[in-house]
Amino acid sequence: MRFEYTIEAGNFTKAGDASSSFKKILKQLNVDPQIIKRIVVSLYEGEVNIVAHANGGKVICDVDTSRVHMQLIDIGPGIPDIAKAMQAGYSTASAKVREMGFGAGMGLQNIKNNADELIIKSEVGVGTQLTIIVNLNKE
């Protein structure tokens, strides 16, 4: 099953809406609560990244009985050095964004910690595409 959400750039009051909607679906599908938590935490981080850094984007979530496959696609500045961006504490967030409690530089690392697989594709000046995969079978 596929679920799509549009993410608005710069609107922090709506950051988290996609994660909350998708969370509700996962609960209805009887996914294990602890796995839901990992999915939602990583999706939320990715969602906030799009709101903060990009000029908008979308989230496409595909669910089957074995896994959740999430694509977060944005149009934005892109990440010049992905390896550096993965380091804890690295952040390009503006002071304004940091004041709001975002941009602590833990985002990508936090996604990686919660996901079973994280693929980052990015082109400077074009945009970033995150693919987050979480397996649904506990092993």
- Select the residue interacting with another protein from 24, 84, 96, 121 (CB under 8 A): 24
- Give the range of 12-20, 70-78, 92-100, 116-124 binding another protein by CB under 8 A: 12-20
Sheet holding 127-135, edge to edge: 2-7, 57-63, 67-75, 127-135, 117-123
Q: What is the smallest separation between the CB atom of 43 and another protein, expressed in angstroms?
A: 9
By the 8 A CB rule, do 128 and 111 touch? Answer: no
- Interior CA angle at 12 toward 8 and 16, to 5°? 80
Nearer to another protein, 77 or 98 (CB): 98
- Select the residue interacting with another protein from 13, 65, 95, 139 (CB under 8 A): 65
Q: Does 53 bind another protein (CB under 8 A)?
A: no
Listed in order, strand segments (DSSP E) in the chain are 2-7, 57-63, 67-75, 117-123, 127-135
Pair of tokens at residue 93: 């967030």
Q: Which residues bind another protein (CB under 8 A)?
A: 1, 16, 19-20, 23-25, 27-31, 33-34, 36-37, 40-41, 44, 63, 65, 136
